[in-house]
Amino acid sequence: MIIIKTPQEIEIMKESAAILSQIMKEVSAKVEVGITTNELNRLFESLVLKYKAKPNFKGYGGFPAGICTSVNEEVVHAVPSERVLRQGDIITLDGGVLWKDYHSDMAITLPVGEISLENKKLMSVTKKALKRGIKKARPGNTFGDVGNTIQRYVEGQGFNVVKELCGHGIGKALHEDPEILNYGRRKTGPTIKEGMVFCIEPMVTKGDARLKKSKDGFGYITRDNSVAAHFEHTMVATGNGAQVITI
């Protein structure tokens, strides 16, 4: 069941999203050659406590950290470790907070030092795919319209969308209905209605979009070890379209 949020609930979720956005900005600024993903996680968790919120990923399904730190071929959900970021890597930070019983969630892919032109294009295409999906996510359209728009753009740029994972509704639970695919057919799936709050999150690969579990037991990597990028925002469906609240 898709839960329509009240104006009061949406205001609280905007507060949650604002806290998360600020934290992600501060953590993103520390991404550099030589830092470990554990150090990024420790910073994220300390900032969440500073804002008197809770890291909603920690403990979720047994996940041991506050933030996912997925590097290169790691698509999502990689556990922070003593892995050192190196020149030319790209890293996805994916995190969320719980504030006044409501969740927010976002992801951003960042370069580590100077990266290849191909990886720059991968990141750019993934970010633009999210923007196109957001533009399509307006009341009256369907979530199939969103996924179709993302897929057509990504594949038209020579990349592939991950089909085994998806976006989701969000609210008092981190993952609510509906599942929001990054592919599909127009005019299929639930119709978007004002008051829905959800996350769109295209995951894009340079090669094979099929996934396998990583050694940490939580993360997913590409089967052919090709590099992937991932961007995500939490948004509210309004009469004027989708309003991104993790900005």
Domain boundaries defined on the chain: 7-244
Q: Which among 204, 194, 200 has a CA at the least distance from the CA of 246?
A: 200
In Å, how far are 101, 123, 148, 152, 246 from 205, measured between CA atoms?
Answer: 34, 10, 17, 14, 24
Please report the pLDDT score of residue 201 as a whole number: 98
C-beta of residue 239 within 8 angstroms of C-beta of residue 16: no
The answer to pTM > 0.85 is yes
Neighbour count for residue 216 (Cβ, 10 Å): 14
Neighbour count for residue 87 (Cβ, 10 Å): 12
Please report the pLDDT score of residue 4 as a whole number: 98
C-beta of residue 83 within 8 angstroms of C-beta of residue 34: no
Neighbour count for residue 22 (Cβ, 10 Å): 12
Please report the pLDDT score of residue 26 as a whole number: 98
In Å, how far are 38, 192, 208, 229, 243 from 134, measured between CA atoms?
Answer: 32, 12, 25, 17, 8
> Across the chain, which distance is largest between two alpha carbons, in Å?
48
Q: Which among 27, 80, 18 has a CA at the least distance from the CA of 51?
A: 18
Please report the pLDDT score of residue 131 as a whole number: 98
Which is it for strands 241-244 and 203-205: parallel, antiparallel or unpaired? unpaired
CATH superfamily of 7-244: Creatinase/methionine aminopeptidase superfamily (3.90.230.10)
DSSP state of 202: -
Split the chain (247 residues) into runs of 10 and give each run's mean pLDDT: 98 98 98 98 98 98 98 98 98 98 98 98 98 98 98 98 98 98 98 98 97 95 98 97 97
Rounded distance, CA 48 to CA 202, Å?
25
Please report the pLDDT score of residue 89 as a whole number: 98
Helical residues (DSSP H) of the chain, grouped into ranges: 7-28, 37-50, 117-136, 143-156
